[in-house]
């Protein structure tokens, strides 16, 4: 599935999107110790995640946890389970109890967290938001806030352009486009951009159908049906890890090998599939770099919560 501007919801895809290797998934509610094995003493930072079921976001949570614990903080990951109201309640509770010195939020829905961000600012609890300032109605940098800002247009354009190049180079004839459900991040910007850019770049291998899925099983079922309707489909453009894994399973079950599978994401499952040759290319969010850059910015604000925060662009890596 998917870092989701898509951020009309959890900031994709698919879409929402690495320390791309060597990371285990973060448990929904876990605390850690400092890197030397002792209990962290600098204070608690809560990471409010969309869902512990999304490997890609777990990768970010792992990277943030590792980096901040290495700087002496305790990190607690709190799972909203795709529920924006629950996420807002989790934030309010953490602030009201005074248990945290900082927060890191991957929002289920930015529009549902406006008051939560205002509360954090009023209580001088610095926060990293996985979002653009405009997603929260801000114009530029804000006091006490770090924006880990993904460029979803660039991300989607990279996916579409590379998928078109692959389809053209490998004789692809028909493409399937897969994305996260409308309730997930990147529900408009990424799909719209991918379909526009790819359509212009690969007219000889057009997108003949689309599907949405939030997990590999439902994605595999959807692609199985699409392959029945479009037996010549041989190019997969997946805006999320989950849809890519499901598509690979569907093609294998049908005894077919696609000409191209290009995916946006970068979780461990798709990286393993890419190494195995089942996925052609992964356009991945470089969350290792994000954890360090935005982590350092957050620590600076903990020292001065009223200072203006930074806007840090999330890097993108292409893995072939």
**Residue 273: predicted pLDDT:** 96
The encoded tokens of residue 215 equal 């997990």
Give the residue ranges of DSSP H helices in the chain. 55-70, 84-96, 114-122, 152-169, 189-201, 216-229, 241-253, 268-275, 287-303
Which residues contact residue 201 at a Cβ distance below 8 angstroms, ignoring those fewer than 6 apart?
160, 161, 164, 165, 168
- Give the separation between CA 254 and CA 279, rounded to whole angstroms: 16
CATH superfamily of 153-285: Response regulator (3.40.50.2300)
- Give the separation between CA 100 and CA 180, rounded to whole angstroms: 32
The encoded tokens of residue 163 equal 């998928």
CATH superfamily of 44-151+287-313: Response regulator (3.40.50.2300)
Sort residue 195 into left (φ over 0), alpha (ψ -120 to 50) or beta.
alpha
- All residue ranges of the chain with pLDDT < 50 are 1-40, 183-186
- Give the separation between CA 269 and CA 56, rounded to whole angstroms: 9
pLDDT tens digits along 180-237: 886 444 458 899 999 999 999 999 999 999 999 989 999 999 999 999 999 999 999 9
Burial 100-114 (b: 16+ CB within 10 A, else e): bbbbbbbbbbbebbe
The encoded tokens of residue 319 equal 């893995």
Residue 223 near residue 231 (C-beta atoms within 8 A):
no
- Give the separation between CA 228 and CA 186, rounded to whole angstroms: 28
pLDDT cut 90: percent of the chain above it = 77
pTM above 0.85, yes or no: no
**Residue 187: predicted pLDDT:** 58
Domain boundaries, the chain: 44-151+287-313, 153-285
Q: Do domains 44-151+287-313 and 153-285 have the same CATH topology?
A: yes
Sheet holding 44-49, edge to edge: 74-79, 44-49, 102-105, 127-129, 145-149, 311-313
- How many CA atoms are closer than 13 Å to the CA of 118, on its beta-carbon side? 8
Which residues contact residue 118 at a Cβ distance below 8 angstroms, ignoring those fewer than 6 apart?
none
């Amino acid at each position: 599935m998917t870092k989701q501007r898509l951020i009309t919801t959890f900031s994709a895809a698919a879409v929402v999107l690495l320390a791309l290797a060597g990371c285990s998934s973060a448990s929904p509610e876990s605390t850690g110790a400092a890197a030397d094995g002792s209990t962290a003493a600098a204070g608690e930072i809560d990471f409010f995640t969309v869902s512990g079921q999304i490997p890609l976001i777990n990768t970010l949570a792992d990277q943030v946890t590792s980096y901040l614990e290495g700087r002496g903080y305790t990190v607690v990951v709190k799972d909203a389970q795709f529920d924006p109201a629950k996420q807002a309640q989790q934030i309010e509770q953490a602030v009201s109890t005074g248990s945290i010195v900082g927060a890191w939020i991957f929002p289920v829905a930015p529009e549902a967290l406006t008051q939560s961000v205002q509360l954090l600012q009023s209580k001088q609890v610095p926060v990293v938001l996985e979002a653009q300032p405009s997603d929260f109605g801000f114009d530029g940098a804000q006091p006490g806030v770090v924006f880990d800002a993904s460029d979803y247009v660039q991300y989607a354009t990279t996916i579409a352009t590379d998928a078109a190049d692959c389809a053209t180079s490998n004789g692809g004839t028909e493409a399937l486009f897969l994305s996260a459900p409308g309730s997930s991040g990147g529900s408009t910007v990424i799909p719209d951009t991918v379909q526009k850019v790819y359509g212009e770049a690969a007219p000889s291998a057009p997108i003949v159908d689309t599907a949405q899925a939030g997990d590999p099983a439902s994605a595999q079922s959807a692609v199985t049906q699409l392959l029945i309707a479009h037996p010549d489909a041989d190019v997969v453009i997946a805006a999320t890890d989950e849809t890519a894994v499901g598509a690979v399973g569907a093609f294998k079950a049908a005894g077919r090998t696609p000409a191209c599978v290009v995916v946006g994401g970068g979780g461990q499952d798709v990286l393993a599939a890419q190494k195995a040759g089942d996925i052609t290319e992964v356009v991945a969010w470089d969350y290792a770099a994000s954890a360090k850059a935005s982590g350092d910015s957050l620590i600076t604000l903990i020292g001065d919560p009223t200072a203006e925060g930074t806007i840090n662009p999330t890097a993108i890596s292409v893995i072939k």
